[in-house]
């Protein structure tokens, strides 16, 4: 992938097989990946180490297996997948989403406790993993 801005670098790889020097990144963006990792705690500690002081990590974290997520799958995703001929969506999802939002939240709070953490829930703004579909974490590393 190419970017016009030469300061932006796109890296496609397995994050657990990468090594960067401490303080390498100004910004890290993580979307829809933590539920799939074998060891998200290891991954997040690496990200913390690689982030520059004052740098930001933005994390999109689905509220899976919260009530709203399961309901939206039941009403929309399961129906659509069956229409497309994919009848094993629930099994596929169970195998792929090995980490749940509550455990990931504890890991995020533990690893980034020294940093400024802002979290926002959607579509409702009150902090509840059952009634929201996802949360966005903005974590700024302390100097």
Q: In what order do the strands lie in the sheet with 116-122?
A: 25-31, 51-62, 134-140, 116-122
Distance CA 108, CA 62 (A): 14
Q: What's the structural domain count of the chain? A: 1
Instruction: For residue 43, give the CATH number of its domain.
Output: 3.40.50.150
Range of the domain at 115: 15-140
Q: Do residues 78 and 90 touch, judged by C-beta distance below 8 A?
A: yes
User: Model-level pTM?
Assistant: 0.90
Q: What is the pLDDT of residues 43-97, one digit of tens each?
A: 999 999 999 999 999 999 999 999 999 999 999 999 999 999 999 999 998 999 9
């Amino acid at each position: 992938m190419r970017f016009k801005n030469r300061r932006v670098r796109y890296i496609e790889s397995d994050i657990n097989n990468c090594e960067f020097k401490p303080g390498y990144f100004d910004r890290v963006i993580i979307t829809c990946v933590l539920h799939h990792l074998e060891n998200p705690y290891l991954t997040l500690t690496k990200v913390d180490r690689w982030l520059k002081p004052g740098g930001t990590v933005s994390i999109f974290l689905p509220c899976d297996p919260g009530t709203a997520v399961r309901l939206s799958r039941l009403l929309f995703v399961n129906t659509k997948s069956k229409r497309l001929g994919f009848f094993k969506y629930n099994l596929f999802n169970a195998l792929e989403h090995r980490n749940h939002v509550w455990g990931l939240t504890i890991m995020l709070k533990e690893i980034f406790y020294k940093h400024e953490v802002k979290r926002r829930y959607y579509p409702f703004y009150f902090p509840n993993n059952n009634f929201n579909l996802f949360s966005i974490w903005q974590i700024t590393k302390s100097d």
